[in-house]
Amino acid sequence: MGPSETCRRDLRGREKHSRLHTEKPWFRTVGRGFDSRHLHSSHVGRGPVAGSGGASVMRPHDRAWRCGDHTHIDRWFTVLPSLSMTQTRAALRPTVLTALLAALLSVLLTPTPASAASLQEVTGFGSNPGALKMYRYVPDGLPAGRPVVVALHGCTQNAAGYATGTGWTTLADRWGFSVVLPQQQSGNNSSQCFNWFQDADIRRGQGEAASVAQMVDRQLADVSGNASRVYVTGLSAGGGMTSVMMAAYPEKFAAGGVVAGLPYGCAQAAGSPFVCMYVGATQTPAQWGDRVRAARPGYTGPWPALTVLHGTADYTVKPVNMTDLVEQWTDVQGADRTADVSDTVAGHPHQIFRGPDGKAVVETYGIDGMGHGQPVDPGSGTEQCGTAGAYFLDVGLCAAHRLGKAWQLG
């Protein structure tokens, strides 16, 4: 039996979206809780929209959206030999007892994971100069000393949708860590993008960067988190803000994950956020590195490790930005730009660059054929996570899982 009619309508709707999203200025994401708007460079007055309405080239396998796992499993039954009812009951009694004991032992011996909680807003977390909102997810029963992940949404998104779509809350329950989810407000940016391109928001001690740093401090205090195991990641504009946090507050983060994002200081280097997004900035690796070093004068390290995931068919934030991120952070880390590992993961090119001490300092995933969005791999497998939807693209690889493994969260 194939998918239900509802599922088929959903599949057709997603295909239609893929064909038309570059032709239509808007579309509504049913059931996602937000409107996604494709704002072109003519919308300069509203700010860049990295993460909102980006081109998402759909390959044949992209049309195979998981729709409720409509896999029907046949149940095969073994018919017992023809016995009398009394004989059958006598024969089954030891087997049933053994099965019950085995089930009981399984329950008693299996470690109990942290149970599902809910997203909560936190107020009064600091002076909040960037006027952001703070949300967090803390699995019930989470012990002290666990890691903290800061997850920054893309334009037109919000904390709740990003938490679910990426799979970060699922992994938090599975592996035992808490998640901080900053949320932009329309008063700061009409498209709800984090202002990765504004001088006032990307400097240490001011604006949105300072607000996110205050959230980290509040979270560590409230949950007795491990200050040496704080990580930051984000999609698109959130990816740009991830670069900001790594550069401006390197002492707070062990590592970062930039998904379809941009290097630190890119808008300033290019003279325009749109040039940065669509063309890239012309900088040498040393110039890129100098921008990071200038964000935290006098800092001698260690600098956060970086993982980048970017679609090769991203026409909103061009893949050249992944190249620039590699140049920026290998220079900061004192590493060369020759990959020490080049292989594939889930069919996608993967590289690792090691620093002078042999540790991985930069890692990249070029997601073959993927447009603008967060890679997800919906399902119940051990490496699967996320929910397919607008800017959450099912490519058979879950970015949150790959980042979590790089950070040894689970």
Residue 182 three-state SS:
strand
Closest CA to 51 of 317, 324, 286: 317
d(CA 247, CA 267): 15
d(CA 179, CA 23): 36
Residue with tokens 């088929």: 8
Residue 243 is among the residues annotated as catalytic for this protein: no
d(CA 130, CA 210): 7
DSSP 22-78: TTSSEEEETTTTEEEE---GGGGGG---TTSS--BPPPGGGG----S---PPPP--P
Contact 41, 315 (CB under 8 A): no
Two tokens, residue 228? 């040496």
Q: Give me the catalytic one of 52, 178, 191, 236.
A: 236
The separation between the first and the last C-alpha atoms of the chain, rounded to the nearest angstrom, is 37
Give the active site residues.
Answer: 236
